[in-house]
Amino acid sequence: MLEALVALVLLSSVGFVLLGWVQQNLEALQRMQGFYAEQEARRDLVEWSRGLNPMARPSGETVIGNRRIVWDAAPAADAVTQAGYPAGTGLYDLALYEIKITVYRTGEGSPWFTERMTAVGYRKARESRTPFN
The number of beta carbons lying within 10 Å of the beta carbon of residue 91 is: 15
Q: Could you tell me the CA-to-CA distances from 83 to 93, 114, 133 in Å, in that order? A: 9, 34, 20
The pLDDT of 104-119, averaged and rounded, is 92
Is residue 116 a part of any domain in this protein? yes
Q: Higher pLDDT residue, 106 or 79?
A: 79
| Structural domain count of the chain | 1
Task: Answer whether residue 74 is part of any domain.
Answer: yes
pLDDT digits (tens, 9 = 90+) for 57-93: 999 999 998 999 999 999 999 999 988 777 788 889 9
Q: What is the pLDDT of residue 107?
A: 84
Average of per-residue pLDDT values in the chain: 91
pLDDT at 52: 95
Structural domain contains residue 130 = no
Give the per-residue pLDDT at 115.
Answer: 95
In a domain, 131, yes or no: no
Residue 93 inside a domain? The answer is yes
What was the pLDDT predicted at 132? 55
* Reduced 3-state DSSP string for the chain: CHHHHHHHHHHHHHHHHHHHHHHHHHHHHHHHHHHHHHHHHHHHHHHHHCCCCCCCCCEEEEEECCEEEEEEEEECCCCEEEECCCCCEEEEEEEEEEEEEEEEECCCCCCCEEEEEEEEEEEECCCCCCCCC
**Which pLDDT score is estimated for 130?**
62
pLDDT for the residue 47: 94
pLDDT, average across residues 43-58: 94
- Cα–Cα distance for residue pair 87/126, rounded to 1 Å: 15
pLDDT at 87: 77
Task: Report if residue 72 sits inside a domain.
Answer: yes
Q: Which residue has the higher pLDDT, 99 or 87?
A: 99
Position with higher pLDDT, 78 vs 131: 78
- Residue 53, φ and ψ in degrees, nearest 5: -110, 100
pLDDT band at 25 (very low <50, low <70, confident <90, very high): very high
Q: What's the domain range around 35?
A: 2-124
Task: Examine residue 132 and state whether it is found in any structural domain, yes or no.
Answer: no
Q: Is residue 21, in this structure, part of any structural domain at all?
A: yes
